[in-house]
Chains A and B, each alone.
Chain A
Amino acid sequence: MGSLQYGVSVYSYVNDYGSVMTLEDAFDHIADTGATGIEILGEGQVEGYPEPSSAWLDQWFALVDRYKLEPTNFCAWVDTRITLTRNLTIAEGAAELARDLRLAHRLGFKFLRPKFGVTSHELDPDPQWQAYVERNLDLAHQLGIIICPEIHAPTPIKHRVTQGYIDFIERTGTRNFGLMIDTGIFQDRPLTHWGSHQINDEMREHMAFLNGIKVPPEQFLDIAQYVVFIQAKFHDIDDTLEDLNIPWRPVIAAIKRSGYSGYLSSEYEGLRSPWRAIDQVRRQQVLLRKLEREYDLGLLA
């Protein structure tokens, strides 16, 4: 039985990052949880993005080496609606993706999550996404990177968006494109905070997904063969190590049962109170590993 790999996204620490936390602090916090992987936001942690200075690159490689963390996923955006009056062309969108693939590779990353523009409230990606990606499959192959758009609330697993990505994988036969699952899709209880936003009634009305879209965890098994990375989204783990929003027991059971052996990358998205994320991430790392052990002992089934 394969075991899971554990990482942390620096996004977990947003707002702390740059105010009460440096890049080195983030490496220290992540490594001390016992995680082995670091996930970053490209246009975020990379100072001078998209062309970091050689001094910054030196610092990056020194930190990777000192803290023994493996670069996992590099988050990128394709700014489809580039201005209010025009969208990116296919050539421009493909060029943005190529630039990010090269930068991610240079920093040692193996996965790149592109965020495409969408055209609907169900988050249908702009149809140009296929051309952006298809023009970059050879490059991704050369660089050893898997491009993985995320399945993120309010988009569930059984949905045309997810199916569209799967159809693309089947049609092209590529091994350089896969699904990222954001575990927020399994959320089954309402949020009180969404990042820096305290959720009010109006937000709940317009963004019903904040109450949880409750994807049944066993549906993970239906798509597991296409999943290459998991962002372990969470918002609040209480003092008894109970997650107040994500039902981790059935989620971990389903992930383990599928045979998935890739990364679970902690992605805290709760209250942005200074320093809160640091311990929340530690709690989640303990919780996830405890549940994996319980599964291995036959206690989770």
Chain B
Amino acid sequence: MLEHQLIQSTGFRNIGPVGARTGFAVRIRIPNYHGTRLSQLDGFTVTVDGEVYGFEQNRLGIRDEVYVLAEMREETTARWGLLEWGEILVDKPGGLEPGIHKVEVLARIRYSYFPPDVHVFPMHEARLATLCVA
């Protein structure tokens, strides 16, 4: 099962080869109350210890696929189910230090049934999360 909060404890990890990390991943449950076509997601801004990683650059990993923002915006068939996790993949050469970090995620969800000018709705959560392996 997933953890209750948006940002999951497990899955907060460095990515890329050990010794030459390329970035880190933040695992989240779907930032919505129902399953969602990927085209209805408009990116995820991640902030770690005050450093902001913008939604335009971050990628989404779900199941065995990775989507950059432009691909996600056009992906009208693949969906993210309510019981699945995804991970936000963030570029950061060298990765993060093992230890406790303040992690924030601002997910941008598009709701067609919200008025057009505010239809990209921000879902924000912050927590302390522990990254285990360098």
Contact = CB atoms under 8 A, between A and B. Distances in A.
Interface of A: 11, 14-20, 22, 41, 43-45, 47-49, 75, 77-84, 115-121, 123, 126, 195-196, 206, 274
B132 to A, nearest CB: 21
B57 interface: no
Interface residues of B, number: 29
Interface string B24-50: 000001000111110110100000000
B10 to A, nearest CB: 13
A45 B81 CA distance: 9
B42 A84 contact: yes
Given A41-B34, A44-B35, 20 more contacts: A11-B33, A14-B33, A15-B33, A18-B83, A19-B3, A19-B29, A22-B1, A41-B33, A43-B35, A44-B34, A79-B40, A80-B113, A81-B112, A83-B39, A83-B73, A84-B42, A118-B112, A118-B113, A126-B112, A195-B33
A24 B39 CA distance: 30
B1 A49 contact: no
A283 B83 CA distance: 27
A79 B37 contact: yes
Interface of B: 1-4, 29, 33-37, 39-40, 42, 73-74, 76, 79, 81-83, 110, 112-116, 118-119, 123
Q: Which 4 A-B pairs have the closest CB atoms?
A: A117-B112, A43-B35, A80-B112, A44-B34
Contacts of A115: 112-113
Main secondary structure of the interface of A (DSSP, over half): loop
Contact of A49 (B4, B81, B119): B81
Nearest to A76: B34
A56 to B, nearest CB: 11
Contacts of B113: 77, 80, 115-118, 123
Nearest to B113: A115
A204 B107 CA distance: 21
A43 B37 CA distance: 10
A75 B1 CA distance: 24
Contact of B112 (A11, A48, A77): A77
B82 A45 contact: yes
20 contacts: A14-B33, A18-B2, A20-B1, A20-B4, A41-B34, A43-B34, A43-B35, A43-B79, A43-B82, A47-B83, A77-B112, A80-B113, A82-B37, A82-B76, A116-B112, A118-B113, A118-B114, A119-B116, A120-B115, A195-B33
A44 B40 contact: no
A110 B118 CA distance: 33
Contacts of B37: 79, 82
B4 A274 contact: yes
Given A11-B33, A83-B39, A83-B74, A18 B112 contact: no
Nearest to A82: B76
A80 B39 CA distance: 11
A145 B40 CA distance: 27
A18 B29 contact: yes
Contacts of A118: 112-116
Contacts of B2: 18-19
A30 B99 CA distance: 42
